[in-house]
Chain A
Amino acid sequence: MPRTAVLLTAALVTMTPAGCASLSERSSAAEQTARAFLQAVAGGDGAAACGALAPETEAEIDAPCEQSILSEALTAPSPVADSRVYGQSALVSFEDDAVFLAVFRDGWRVVAAGCTPRGERPYDCRIRG
Chain B
Amino acid sequence: MRRALRDNSLGLVFGLLFLIVLVAQGFAGHADFNQQQITAGLERVSLGRYLTSASFAADVAENWQSEYLQFFLYILLTTWLVQKGSPESKKPGKEGREADREQKVGRYATEDSPAWAHAGGLRRALLSNSLGLVMGLLFAGSWLAQSIAGAAAFNERQLRDLQEPVTWAEYLTEPDFWNRTLQNWQSELLAVASMVILSIYLRQRGSPESKPVGAPHDATGVEG
The interface of chain A, by Cβ under 8 A from chain B, is: 18-19, 54-57, 84, 86-91, 100, 102-105, 111-112, 115, 117, 120-123, 125, 128-129
Contact = CB atoms under 8 A, between A and B. Distances in A.
B65 interface: no
Given A86-B152, A86-B156, A89-B156, A19 B49 contact: yes
A104 B153 CA distance: 18
Contacts of A100: 159, 162
B42 A112 contact: no
B38 to A, nearest CB: 10
A86 B159 contact: yes
Using C-beta atoms within 8 Å of the partner chain, give the interface range for chain B: 20 to 34
Interface in B142-174: 152-153, 155-156, 158-165
B41 A19 contact: no
Nearest to A84: B165
A104 B162 contact: no
Interface string B99-132: 0000000000000000000000000000000000
B48 interface: yes
A19 B162 contact: no
Contact of A125 (B42, B162, B164): B162
Contacts of B152: 86-87
B160 to A, nearest CB: 5
7 contacts: A18-B49, A19-B49, A86-B156, A86-B158, A91-B159, A103-B42, A125-B162
B176 interface: no
B45 A122 contact: no
Contact of B54 (A87, A112, A128): A87
A86 B162 CA distance: 13
A112 B162 contact: yes
For B42, B155, B159, B165, which residue has the most chain A Cβ atoms within 10 angstroms? B159
A87 B55 contact: yes
Contacts of A111: 41-42, 162
A48 to B, nearest CB: 21
Nearest to B161: A122
Contacts of A123: 162-164
B41 A90 contact: no
B53 A103 contact: no
B156 A88 contact: yes
B43 interface: yes
Nearest to B41: A56
Given A86-B152, A86-B165, A104 B159 contact: no
A111 B152 CA distance: 19
Contacts of B53: 19, 87
| Residue of A86, A91, A123 contacting most chain B CB atoms (<10 Å) | A86
A90 B171 CA distance: 18
B162 A115 contact: yes
A55 to B, nearest CB: 7
Contacts of B52: 19
Nearest to A104: B43
Nearest to B46: A18
Contacts of A57: 41
B50 to A, nearest CB: 10
Contacts of B153: 86-87
A48 B43 CA distance: 21
